[in-house]
Chains A and B, each alone.
Chain A
Amino acid sequence: MRFVARVLVMAVLGVSLPIGASFGQQGDAASNNPSEALKEFLRSYLNPGPGDHKETIRITVVSVKTEDKAGEEEIVYISGPQGLWCGTGGCNMLIVEPFGTSYKVIGDLSIVQLPIRLLSTMENRHPDIGVWVQGGGIQPGYEAVISFDGTNYPGNPSMPPARPVKGIEGKRIITTTENSVPLY
């Protein structure tokens, strides 16, 4: 019953659950069963070089529905050791949507802390996403909303057009990296 209830809530919020999806802690909706095609795209996009220790890259993926032609987008939280794939400001978050047989990046955020929330509001047929901003000198942290501008989501949640918000309804979709999987 509990699982069914969660599915219903996320269906309302537009969270899709690929087959084999599993939940993380604290209501984490991370499916974390990324397709090989997605992983291949991410490897190509990130293109780690010498000294990047690509074997340390881990990803946490959640699919969310959009009203755009693609019909869905993937929220990808890229984590790894501090100093390599994360900094004091947080880790990298990509938002990609299917494009032909592959994907295209519509959001590349540099400093994202968890949790990540799927909000109930939309801009340009894509859902607003709430990300936590803290560290790098920002104390205490706050939730910032990133909205799709028709082409991209903003790249830096600590700067406009990302905006601090409080009390917006939404669903936590990634709260932990405990269920992350290696990219390589």
Chain B
Amino acid sequence: MTHFIDRRLNPKGKSLGNRQRFLRRARAQIREAVQRSLKDSAVADIDKGRKIKISAKGTREPRFRLDPLEGGARDFVLPGNKEFVPGDEIRKPKSGDGGQKGKQASDYAEGEDDFEFTMTQEEILDIFFEDLELPNLVRTTLKETPSRTWKRAGITTAGSPTQINLIRTMRNSFGRRLALKRPRLSDLKALHAKLESAEREEPQTEATRSRMAALKEELAKAEAKRKWVAFVDPLDVRFNAFTEQPVPTSQAVMFCLMDVSGSMGEREKDLAKRFYMLLHLFLKRRYEKVDIVFIRHTHDAQEVDEQEFFYSRQSGGTIVSTALEKMLEIQRERYATADWNIYAAQASDGYTQSGDARRCVEMLNNDIMPLCQYYAYIEILDEREMEVFASEESGAELWRAYRTVAEAWQNFATKRISKPADIFPVFRDLFRKEEAAA
């Protein structure tokens, strides 16, 4: 079985490094292509790999090529002649005709203006969220449980057997054995062999016998020495050392407020949910320590879990301020501003019980905005409404009320969404990095 080596268990993905180099190289084109490809797709599909087509610009690998279409003459041979005889003429297909000539032409021409390949979900989300961040994130106090990681800290002489550093250990052992002249196994064997051959000698003369005695003595010495100069001595052993180091984190909580009342049609709810799904993905990927609180409301607000928030149905009247109250209540209970960055995103169709909008504005101005790092309000409209409310100025009651808040607070943002294609751009707009915006 000397000829075969089973490599199947060797690590695969040797090309991963090269793939990352390629993605990095084509970053600009890929980013563009990812945005384009995500624009029209459902958010639910975002967590799938997909084919991406990028222009070859930036990743071209030009070589000198001959261009026989431009000039000169050549001869070439083809297989499968059917009816041609010498002197026949075959019309050259015009470029774009496809067929045989087209294929040949592409051998010579630029060939690859577009390049298509598959990207994994990870790679796509990385790129999509690349330059987004939670605005105004402040490092608040390091609370009692900062996260910790293990870092390498050189080599020690004590440790657990699983952390033994074989290379260092054996190097030490080798050096010590050399220095103390530990007889090698092969030396012992040679002595044994000599002794044996002496024993077999006939006749056994005096000289032989004394040689044998000397050999035996030498052998005994060597064996004794091998005993007290150990192969691996505790002195030799080294361990990899690790120390625990605290990693400073900033804590943040995101309140997701969604109107699920009867006035929100299925379409509106669907849009809102998609927006939150994206937000959810974004926070999960980019921030290890972000709490997310889901609050949904009709005429009454409840805190729910992720599953309920995205997938259950409910209906009723609309009182937006109940959600804000709920949020404040939770914040007071669990998220002290000294320790937490507080964010909120609210989605609604803009309708609320008359008079409630005023109350909302009061709450926002007096209680909520002083606590919040950032507050995003997303209004879901249908497309007809979108046309009516083309300008930022006009809108339903809640929108007009919130505009006043936006004027007063810089970290309050309002956006409108009317179709799935709006979600990605609006999302990017809301969470664009400060530098990028400047």
**A and B interact physically:** no
